[in-house]
Amino acid sequence: MAVKITRGRALSTLSLTPLIDIVFLLLIFFLVATRFAEEDRKLEVQLPTASEAQPMTEEPKEIAININEEGKFFVGGKFVDEDELFNLLRTARINNPVGQPVVIRADERVPFAFVASVMNLCNKAGIFNYTVATEGAT
């Protein structure tokens, strides 16, 4: 005896027209929104000056401070003493008020007091985004 299966009419009458209408409306919306964003940038405006304005900066490059086994500080391959390092850090913070990253790379044989000294100089200069580099275990 054959079994007769009746199919529902819901799937056969599904209309895609409203879905296509919504896709076109979204497409038009994004095209118009993009056009307005471009027009805002094309308008010629003379901006006022402000005495306390700070320049827009790119993502600041991190400063790498190397400490050799004798406890001497090197930045960019050049030896610097504590005063020069503090001035360099303070200048970097002034030029990048958003946050200047500093990486402290110390020889494993150097006493931690030298690393703490660099961390203290960073804190004095107003730089709190500093890390101590380590080598990964193999």
Longest dimension (CA), the chain: 99
Query: What would the mean pLDDT of 27-42 be, rounded to a whole number?
Result: 72
Would 86 be classed as within a structural domain? yes
Work out the pLDDT band at 1, boundaries 50, 70, 90: low
CATH number for the domain including 127? 3.30.420.270
Q: Which residues pair with 75 in a beta bridge?
A: 65, 78
Q: Give me the number of domains the chain comprises.
A: 1
* Residue scoring higher pLDDT (47 or 85): 85
Would 57 be classed as within a structural domain? no
Show the beta-strand stretches assigned E in 13-95: 63-67, 73-75, 78-80
* Residue 27 pLDDT: 92
121: containing domain:
63-132
Please give the model's pTM, rounded to 2 decimal places.
0.55
Strands 63-67 and 78-80: unpaired
Would 42 be classed as within a structural domain? no
Query: What would the mean pLDDT of 84-101 be, rounded to a whole number?
Result: 87
In this predicted model, what pLDDT tens digit does every residue of 4-22 receive, in sequence order? 777 666 556 677 888 899 9
Q: CA 130, CA 138: separation in Å to the nearest integer?
A: 25
Would 47 be classed as within a structural domain? no
